[in-house]
Amino acid sequence: MKRVMWKIGMTEHALIVCRDDDLIGLAPDVFHVVTLRGDSTDKPALPDEFNEGRVLATLTLLNTGKGSAFDRIAPAQRCERETLRSGRSVIRESAHKKTLLTEVLRAIEGLGGSAHVPLYREYARRMTELVDELVLNALFNANPRLRGTDRGAPFLLAKREEVIVRWRADVHTFCVSVSDPFGTLDRDTVLRYLGDRDKTRSFVGDPSAGLGLRIVFDRSHTFVLEVEPGVCTEVVCHASFEKKLRDFDVHERCLHFYLRAAE
């Protein structure tokens, strides 16, 4: 990505960073949103709950280099002593999704060791819910043929419709990428939940947001949307496994949106 000048604005609930002077009016093709609180309560976050350095480090990773967001922010094998779990799934039918969720659940449950079983069991539950929501969005929101179908119904996809899921996890972090071959998500859909009425409260707190944003924000800390219109959408979520669940919950949340021109 080319170096750009960022416009920074502040609302009661979020820091807005975009490439244009008017986030809503000019509908930028790249923008970032940093919420000051992970949960959807009315109480504002304390200043020390916002880690500016951590946010800037993520922005640097996302806006430099090549490859997908997943390749840039997913955990890597740091040393032989650390356990890195990973997987890749091609989702074509209901059974594939069920197998994927089981793999993610068991992998994260096994990361904590005997001393941290309850904590990682809870993280496993949250990350499995996150992956499930992202896959359901790719199946029933992005796919024009299945849009409006009961999300609990069995499904069978043609090869050209298949959804690709990649994930990695270690004791510190979890990262998942879900890609669909449609590219139907547009910036207006995302911007609609950053509207003038109350940009981030409606975005984070509206359970009918269509993208399952409430679940996504509750279960992860970094949410990246990369869209090539009519070609593909890749959604990447990253979560930090904090030592206490409260720290996980108050961790700042970031959304990063990129609209890529077709090559």
d(C-alpha 41, C-alpha 205), whole Å: 9
Q: Which of 107, 229, 88 is nearest to 171 (CA)?
A: 107
Do residues 219 and 130 lie in contact, with contact meaning Cβ atoms separated by under 8 Å?
yes
pLDDT score recorded for residue 23: 41
Residue 131's pLDDT is what? Answer: 97
Q: Which domains does the chain have, with CATH numbers?
A: 7-259 (3.30.565.10)
- Global pTM reads 0.80
Start-to-end Cα distance in the chain: 14
Residues of the chain with pLDDT under 50: 1-14, 19-27, 36-48, 195-210
pLDDT of residue 29: 66
- Residue pLDDT, tens place only, 177-199: 999 999 998 877 776 655 433 44
pLDDT at 237: 96
